[in-house]
Amino acid sequence: MMKAQLLVFAISAILVASIGMTPVFGQSPIVVTTDKESYADGDEIIISGSVIQSLGGYEVGIIVMSPPPLVNRVNLDQVPIDADKQFSTTMTAGGSLMKVDGTYTIKVQYGPNYTATASFEFVGAGGGEEEPVSPSPTTDETYSVEGTDATIGYTITGGKVLSIVPDVEGLSLIIKIEATEDGSITLGIPRAILDARTEGGDDDTEFFVLVDADETDFDEAVTDITRTLTIEFPAGAEEIEIIGTFVIPEFGTIAAMILAVAIISIIAISARSKLSIIPRY
């Protein structure tokens, strides 16, 4: 009888513990909110949320998108999860990227499967009393890296890309642009093209970014194969240089090395066989 009671007690304890560990039905695995529903130019926007389960090694990726029809990324951030399964970040309303009044969408990604969205209204400077600013033209395409077979995907506002060239000696990519107004460029750079790693190659380090030879800040999101940089530039800017610790060599450099090796090999073979590579008449 005592054993039966102990067995019933043990089973009941297991069931209670299991119920306590099971997520509440209908509860979202990730939640994101803003501290207000509407913001004017210069306001601080607080984006925060929580996750139902911590995933070791993952941070929350946050992207803020402008209203349609010309949807553009206006902010990109990666935020760690704290011990209470909470996350939070801030951004400033307005600036060179947030020019259009309307509903902005926040897209959140946590791990491979957890996603959520939220939104807020931007009413511009002066609480929406001024006329809305026309959106900058946006392009979203790929560009071939000169001298290689590689391509880089990018989105640009306020200008256009003229060329992307690797600088082997400088360990950098040089992006020539024509900036008709203040804008930004977001580049999805494969690590096989350009990367910045520690001396042992075990960890990432930061890129060094110059706009017309002046150091500038940038936002970055990373994966195992790609590093995505968002860089702002002023009207009239002509060159963006991204400096790392490795850059893909230009095909021309490789071709020159191959040609040099081939010539040396031909000379060596000719000397051994006493053949002349110059025709005799």
Higher pLDDT, 57 or 75: 75
Whole-number percent of the chain with pLDDT over 70: 72
* Over residues 9-34, mean pLDDT: 57
What pLDDT sits at residue 14? 47
Higher pLDDT, 13 or 154: 154
pLDDT-derived band at 77, boundaries 50, 70, 90: confident
What pLDDT sits at residue 120? 94
Residue spans of beta strands (DSSP E) within 111-258? 114-122, 138-144, 151-167, 172-190, 194-195, 208-211, 214-215, 218-222, 226-233, 239-243, 246-247
Higher pLDDT, 110 or 6: 110
Distance CA 155, CA 28 (A): 32
* Over residues 45-54, mean pLDDT: 91
What pLDDT sits at residue 154? 87
Tokens 């790392």 -> residue: 244
* Three-class SS state of 69: coil
- Give me the domains of the chain, ranges plus CATH numbers: 30-128 (2.60.40.1930), 138-251 (no CATH)
Chain-wide mean pLDDT for the chain? Answer: 78
What pLDDT sits at residue 86? 93
Most confident of 122-131, 156-165, 250-259: 156-165
Could you tell me the CA-to-CA distances from 113 to 8, 24, 241 in Å, in that order? 38, 18, 35
Least confident residue range of 2-6, 170-174, 232-236: 2-6
pLDDT in tens, 230-266: 999 999 999 999 999 988 875 444 444 444 555 565 5
What pLDDT sits at residue 137? 52
